[in-house]
Chains A and B, each alone.
Chain A
C-alpha cells in the first residue's frame, strides 16, 4: 500500500504541481486548500506525511502544525512546511509549533519527491 500524503496550499496551481509530482512517484495524495479543511481530513483519515504552505486563509500552516501535533495519531508524523522566505523567523516558529522540517519554494519536484521519500521511508 502506498504512503498517503496530505498536501495543503491555498494556491491551486501549487497544489496541483505537488500532487502531480507525488502521484507520479507512486504516492496517494489528498489535497486541502486551507488549515481547517486539512485538519478535518486529518481527523478522518490517517496520513503518513503532511506538506503545508504557511500563508493560508482561515488557518495558516503553523497553526495547522500545532493543531496536528495535538492529535494522538500525528505526534510523530513528518509535517513539512512549504516556505517562500528563507527568513529564519518562520522556520523557528514552525519548529516551535512542532514542524519536522521545511522545503523552500520554488523547489525542484525531484527534490520534493526525494524529501518525501526520506521522511516516509
Chain B
C-alpha cells in the first residue's frame, strides 16, 4: 500500500513546530522551578506527537531522537526519574536539534549530523544514569503551590462532654481561623432509644478554607487531641490546578475545532482582490462626477454604501493577516536564557502588550532586528551582577519588550535598565571616525551616530555583537518596512530603543497632490496639515534653502516638483504647502495643487520596476493612471540635516 503521505507533511511540520515551542516553554518553566504533573505531561505529550508523526512519515532521524526523548520524559512523568539543571539543558538542546531536523525535512536544509549525534548521546547518557534529582510530577512538600487550606477529620472520644469540652466550641474556635465547611458524620449515631446524651457519637469532616499554620490548627484541638481522632491534610493549589487544567483542556480542545489553517498565499490573494475592489470603487466615483445631478445623487448614495462595504471588507481581510506580536516575542525567553548564561549576566525578561497585533509580513521581518537589539541590551547595556550590586542596583537586570498601538502605528520598545549610552564615548568615537559633529549636540543627535555603519563603542568585539554591523542594518531594515527607530537613554539607568511601524503595508490613506505635472500621493499618516503660504511667510536662508513660517516655527520648504526632478516652470508667490512629518522631523512640501484624499492600495515599485529614492511605492488611481507615493521619511533624510534634539 503506497498512500502518498506528502500532502500531510505541511500540517505535520507546522504542528511539530508548535509542539517544539510548547516543549521549550515547558522546559523553561521547569528550569525556573515550576513543578506539577500537568507541566511534565504537556512536555511529554508534545514529544510523543512529534515522534508519532516522524515515524509515520519516515523521518527516521527525528523518530530516533524523539524516541529517546520520549523514554526519558516518560520516566520523569511516572516519577521514576527526577530532573536537574543538566537534564533540562540536554532536553533544550535536543529541542534545537529537532528544529534543525524539521528544517531538513521541510526545506531540505541539511542538519549538522554531528549535532544530532551529540544531542542523542547526551540524552542516552542521561538515560544510562541512575535516576537522580527531585521528582517532578509528584507534588512534594515545599515544592507545592501555595497552601489553600486544611482538610480535617475530627472524632472526639465518647466521654468528651465529661471533661466540660464541647465539640461545637472547638468548631467555632476553628472558624476563627477562616471560613469553615462542616460535614457531620452520623454513622456512629445510635437510634434514639439507645442514645446516651452524655456520650458523644458524632464525628466531623471539616474543610478550613484559609492558609492557616498547621500549629494554629493543631492548637484548636490541643485540649482534646489525646482523646480524639484528629487527622489533618493540607490542601495545596497544585491539586486544584490539576483538576482545573484537565477541566479546561476539554473546552480548549473544542475551541481549537473552531479555527482552520489557511495558507498565506490564499490570504494574500484576498488582500489583492480587495485592493482591486478599492480601485474599482474609485473609478466609479470618478465616473459618477460627470453624470446628470439627479442621477448623481442616487449614484453618490450607492457609491457611499459601496465605500462602507469595501472599507469593512478591507478591515476584515487585513485583520486575517494580523497576528499577535507574541509570535515574535515568544522566542525571547529562550534567547534571553541562553544569552545570559553565555555572557555571565543575570537577566529577567518582561514582556508587555504581547497580544498587540500586526501584519504577518511585518512580524517575520521584525524578528531579526529585535533579536539584535535584545542581544545588544544584554551584552552591552546590562552590567555584570557584581557591578550592578555595587551601583546599588538589583543584580538581575531587566530587559523589557513592549508593544502597543499608537495612532496609525505599532510601537515596539526594547528596553534595559543597564548602564545607558555613554555620550562622551560616542562623541569621541564619532570624531575619531571623522564624522561631522555639530556644536553642542543634543542627546538625540549623539545617539544618532550609533546608527552609522561600522560604528561601535564596544570595548571588545564579542562573538555576538560589537562588530558594529548591527544598528545601521537594524535601522535600514525598519525603514524598509516604512517605520523608524529612535533611541532614548539615561546614563546609569538604561536605554530604550523605540521602533515605530505602520500597521499595514498594503493599504493606506493618502492625499493626492499634483506637483511638477505629476500626480503624487502623500501618505496621510505623514501629513500634519495643508495650507496656503502667504508671501511674507517664506524666507531664504543662505546654506539652508527656503524656510516656511508656520505659526511660530520655521520649517524647511521643499518643492515636491523639484524633488521629483520636475521643476515647476515658475515659482508661485503663495504656493500651496503641505506640512509633513517623516523620520521624526517636520518639513513643508510645496505642491501645485491639492487634489483629494483617498484610500490607496500600495503596490511595490521594487517588484515591478526597481527601487527609487524618495519613492516608497506606487498606486493606481481611479482614472487608471499610476501615481507615485512619496517616501516622506526618505525625503526628510536626504534633504535635511540631522535634527537638533
Contact = CB atoms under 8 A, between A and B. Distances in A.
Of B164, B173, B222, B223, chain A has the most CB atoms within 10 Å of the CB of B164
A3 B408 CA distance: 76
B173 A101 contact: no
Contacts of A77: 164
Contacts, number: 34
A95 B161 contact: no
Contact of B223 (A75, A76, A100, A121): A100
Interface string A78-121: 11000000000000100100111110000000000000001101
A41 interface: no
A99 B164 CA distance: 7
B169 A101 contact: no
B3 interface: no
Contacts of A69: 162
A101 B172 contact: no
Contact of B162 (A75, A118, A119): A75
A80 to B, nearest CB: 9
B329 to A, nearest CB: 54
A119 B173 CA distance: 10
Contacts of A119: 164, 166, 169
Interface residues of A, number: 16
B287 interface: no
Interface residues of B, number: 13
Contacts of A79: 164
Contacts of B166: 119
B570 to A, nearest CB: 98
A92 B223 contact: no
Contacts of B164: 76-79, 98-100, 119
A100 B226 contact: no
Nearest to B170: A118
B166 to A, nearest CB: 8
A98 B173 contact: no
A121 B222 contact: no
B173 A100 contact: no
Nearest to B220: A118
Contacts of B161: 76
Interface of A: 69, 75-79, 92, 95, 98-102, 118-119, 121
Interface of B: 161-166, 169, 172-173, 222-223, 226-227
5 contacts: A76-B162, A92-B226, A98-B162, A102-B223, A121-B172
